[in-house]
Structure 1
């Protein structure tokens, strides 16, 4: 199996049943959430040797989290057991015109406080072909930012392909801080994954004619964003997700891959949302798999978008679909008919 490494924070996810509001809840359902963990799990489902690197406490909640990854085939041998707490994400799922809400309780988590000098990146990357991280990890703390930079540099020096999902989170840091820190990481990145909001928030790169709040999408605008990202940072490829938010319950979903000066657009899907959190990560996981496979650029973006479309019909952060399920949708069968 081909080895892929991802690095970031995994949190305990707590949410009211169904579409209940926080103030209605007398108990919470538990699962796990984290951008890079979600990507690792997708890749494990696709048959990759997916190694996930993070820091978790030695207590039972930390072990429960490790077990939650192991049961889906993620390699947890590089998870460091240290620190006192795991971050928590509270999620209230929206419906119709009521948006979803996220509350973080992740300050002073184990990964945020861990000494970056203690990671043995050369050992972790031995035999790896790909390294993936997101803009969430360096936003956690100065320590996590340094660890991410060290990892990206080492992977680049070892000839490993590096991908990054910009994933700007305003609850974690300012646009100015994000721009300064992420700019230092970009020279080591081969594949940049973004949406227009992230490119604008982090690097001030945006286009006219696109408004995500009205569902208005401009193909020319996204081409412009991708070209500007390539011109500034020299990426080999840029992938952009195209989400048209009709409501919290209905989204338009597509994607674009910019490769060798050409733009490839996927089919557009209208999704009846079950759980959109983790949708971008499932796109990233699908894209990494597709880029490592014997697929054309058009097939690569179709696979990534189909994978992420299916994920948004599944409860929880994790994408639990198989390659045949993704390829069936990517091939044009969106009927949803019962399989007997």
Structure 2
């Protein structure tokens, strides 16, 4: 079983010490991207992975490659083209000051040439194909081809994994909804948030709970498994859910402290896919995935880069020291 991730690899520029972007003199550079983040975690858990993307063949493209080499993510299907790496600038939140993201990814190598990678997808029966709404947002050619590509993969027995991951500063709702709706009937494992049901797809009322929202979408699109990681901002807790046609399972609600919000959903996705591939019970799977998300909040990286045992050994109280 190989997990293929199809999407753009990004460089994140973040000022140190919670500085605002307007005051920044230096930046820390991270390599990330939703699909790559999930693959990094899965690779640490021992799964074969392959990133499907396009990079420029220059120093910044090589920086991204080096991250993949370090984390054992497969690079056999990467294509190279002249151009630039997609980037974004992140101002971290502090106290009551909200964070801020400024994207600079138009005309990147993936935005211009990403659709060409779909011709080389070599997934087989039992493999997973992972992508997100962000991938659809940055490349119009991919949007035109994606339904045919997914249908072909499903015929081969590949499991389709989709995270809606709607970003309003990448594409608008009117453009996104028809594309997402065309994809959902082909999806085997769907990751979503409550607002995807109430605000984006408008399948549910605002006062519907997560269980109701998930069941509505599942019944409408016949999706085998759905999962979500839900933050309670007031209580600073994180709780995962998994819904199948027979079960609705909630994890324990874990208290979390935020050092970094980037990649928490991607870590949750990796945890769910890990549990599914290990054949765990769904309760164990969603609990493990939620712990992955909690741990990712404690790192400064875009992807959770830990061993399975580190997740199982999540501290039961703040500031524990293992000796």
Q: Is the 8 A contact 1:36 1:134 kept in 2?
A: yes
Q: In the TM superposition, what is the alpha-carbon distance from 1:305 to its structure 2 partner?
A: 0.4
What residue number does 1:267 align with? 252
Report the Cα distance in structure 2 between the residues aligned to 1:194 and 1:115, rounded to whole angstroms.
24
Give yes or no for the alignment of 1:319 onto 2:304. Answer: yes
Q: TM-score, length-normalised on structure 1?
A: 0.90
Provide the aligned length of Structure 1 versus Structure 2.
323
What residue number does 2:265 align with? 280
Q: In the TM superposition, what is the alpha-carbon distance from 1:141 to its structure 2 partner?
A: 2.3
What residue number does 2:320 align with? 337
Unaligned runs of 5+ in 1: 211-220
Q: Indicate the SS of the match to 1:309.
A: helix
Report the Cα distance in structure 2 between the residues aligned to 1:206 and 1:245, rounded to whole angstroms.
22
Give yes or no for the alignment of 1:239 onto 2:227. Answer: yes
Q: Is the 8 A contact 2:54 2:117 kept in 1?
A: no
1:38-78 CA distances to partner (integer Å, 9 max, x unpaired)?
01111101100011111111112111111111111101111
- Aligned Cα RMSD in Å? 1.8
User: Matches of residues 1-340 of structure 1 in structure 2 within 5 Å?
Assistant: 2-114=1-113, 116=115, 119-122=118-121, 124-126=122-124, 129-209=127-207, 221-246=209-234, 251-329=236-314, 333-334=316-317, 336-340=319-323
Report the Cα distance in structure 2 between the residues aligned to 1:97 and 1:144, rounded to whole angstroms.
38
Q: Is the 8 A contact 2:52 2:117 kept in 1?
A: no
Report the Cα distance in structure 2 between the residues aligned to 1:287 and 1:127, rounded to whole angstroms.
19
Q: In the TM superposition, what is the alpha-carbon distance from 1:184 to its structure 2 partner?
A: 1.4
Q: Indicate the SS of the match to 2:17.
A: coil
Q: Is the 8 A contact 2:6 2:130 kept in 1?
A: yes
Report the Cα distance in structure 1 between the residues aligned to 2:117 and 2:79, rounded to whole angstroms.
10
Farther-moved stretch of structure 1 (144-153 vs 279-288): 144-153
TM-aligned CA distance change 1:118 to 1:265, over 3 Å: closer
Unaligned runs of 5+ in 2: none
